[in-house]
Amino acid sequence: MKMAFGFLAAILVASLSPFAHASDPSPLQDFCVAVNDSVAAVFVNGKICKNPNMVVAEDFFFPGLNKPGNTSNQVGSMVTPVNVNQLPGLNTLGISLARIDFAPYGINPPHTHPRASEILLVVEGTLYVGFVTSNPANPTMKNKLFTKYLYPGDVFVFPQGLIHFQFNVGKTNALAFAGLSSQNPGVITIANAVFGSNPPINPDVLAKAFQVEKNVIDYLQAQFWWNIN
Ligand SMILES: *[C@@H]1O[C@H](CO)[C@@H](O)[C@H](O)[C@H]1NC(C)=O
Ligand SMILES: *[C@@H]1O[C@H](CO)[C@@H](O)[C@H](O)[C@H]1NC(C)=O
């Protein structure tokens, strides 16, 4: 009886699961090591699998995440990603990793990951982090900001798709590692996408949207939007 109930529950969960994907689809085999398909003509949701007989331990390996990223740039931070583009064995597995280095007062500017939630661990320094909720009907939750100061050993989670940032408020370097719930989380850096697009968005559109004079938009579009992600 107990087993029958478990079986029914399993069927129910399985039947609902197509509507409940919180991360990349589950693999249907042990692994699907990505072939480096930059010249391949076929595109799939993920990357094409390498012949399993040709797979080697190196396909599941990425060295060097002990090395600091170069933070000599306008925002004073650098992200070193380890996703399916750097570690082909991550293909279909629904996870990835990043190292984030911060110079003193460096920022990882407001951005979103369209395909992943992010769990951040601070290893060195002090970070001021936050995210903003979307604009649903519930007025009390509309664009609500959640922030926290983080110290070594602290962990913080940024829900999938929400705009978030990390700011080094200390006089020393800061270091964090982030786990992401996608093999290919994607990054949209807000200012870069809005003011640094190629070609530029019509400034009349942005002046109206941001409710400022067009010369403010001209100024912003003339900046160099450094991309650290
Ligand atoms: C760090 O980046 C800056 C700016 O791109 C560059 O000038 C400098 O040579 C880099 N430093 C190292 C150690 O790679
Ligand atoms: C894939 O190929 C490109 C171009 O040949 C190379 O730059 C890149 O490092 C390769 N990526 C991996 C994970 O081997």
CA–CA gap between residue 186 and residue 196 (Å, rounded): 17
How many independent structural domains does the chain possess? Answer: 1
User: Is residue 11 one of the residues assigned to a domain?
Assistant: yes
Q: Is the distance from CB of 76 to CB of 102 less than 8 angstroms? A: yes
Angle, to 10 degrees, between the axis of helix 214-221 and the axis of helix 203-210?
A: 120
Grouping H, G, I as helix, E, B as strand and the rest as coil, residue 78 is strand
Predicted local confidence at residue 41, as pLDDT? 63
Residue whose CA is at the smallest distance from ligand 2 atom 2 = 36
108 is in an annotated binding site: yes
Query: Per the domain annotation, does 205 fall within a domain?
Result: no
> Would you state the structure tokens that stand for residue 17, as one six-digit string?
């699961």
The verdict on residue 169 lying in a domain is yes
What is the CB neighbour count within 10 angstroms for residue 215? Answer: 10
Show the tokens assigned to 42.
Answer: 């076929």
Residue 99 resides in a domain: yes
Q: Is residue 196 part of a domain?
A: no
Q: Please identify, by atom number, the ligand 2 atom nearest to the C-alpha of residue 34.
A: 13
Residue with tokens 């370097």: 173
Which residue spans within 60-152 are E strands per DSSP?
77-82, 96-102, 107-112, 118-124, 127-132, 145-150
Predicted local distance difference test score (pLDDT) of residue 12: 44
Q: From ligand 2's centre to the CA of 38, what distance in Å?
A: 8
pLDDT for 138 equals 78
CATH number at residue 92: 2.60.120.10
Ligand 2 centroid to Cα of residue 155, in Å, is: 32
Question: Is ligand 2 within 6 A of the CB of residue 36?
Answer: yes
What's residue 26's pLDDT?
86
Cβ of 70 below 6 Å from ligand 1: yes
Q: How many CB atoms lie within 10 A of CB 160?
A: 18
Report how far residue 40's alpha carbon sits from residue 54's, in angstroms, rounded to the nearest whole number.
18
What is the pLDDT tens value at each position of the chain, 229 positions in all?
444 545 444 444 444 444 456 678 888 889 999 988 766 667 778 888 999 999 999 999 999 999 999 999 999 999 999 999 999 999 999 999 999 999 999 999 999 999 999 999 999 999 999 999 998 777 888 899 999 999 999 999 999 999 999 999 999 999 999 999 999 999 999 999 999 999 999 999 999 999 999 999 999 999 999 888 7
**Predicted pLDDT at 188:** 97
Residue 54 alpha carbon to ligand 2 centre in Å: 17
Residues in a beta bridge with 77: 102
> How far is 182 from 176, CA to CA, in rounded Å?
18
Residue 218 in any domain: the answer is no
Determine if the peptide bond prior to 199 is cis (ω within 30°).
yes
What pLDDT is attached to residue 228?
Answer: 84
38 Cβ below 6 A of ligand 2? yes
Range of the domain at 164: 2-186
Q: Which residues contact 145 (CB under 8 A, 6 or more apart)?
A: 130, 131, 132
- HSE-CB at 44 with a 13 A cutoff on CA atoms is 12
Domain assignment present for residue 120? The answer is: yes
Q: Is the CB of residue 167 less than 8 Å from the CB of residue 107? A: yes
pTM, two decimal places: 0.85
- Closest ligand 1 atom to Cα of 73: 4
Residue 16: the pLDDT is 46
Task: Judge whether 13 lies within some domain.
Answer: yes
The edge-to-edge listing of strands for the beta sheet with 118-124 is 77-82, 96-102, 174-180, 118-124, 155-158
Which numbered ligand comes closest to the C-alpha of 36?
Answer: 2
Coil, strand or helix: which one is 112? strand
- What pLDDT is recorded for position 53? 95
User: From ligand 1's centre to the CA of 68, what distance in Å?
Assistant: 12
58 is an annotated ligand-binding site residue:
no
- Round to whole Å and give the CA distance between 163 and 46: 24
The answer to whether 21 is annotated as binding is no
pLDDT value of residue 10: 47
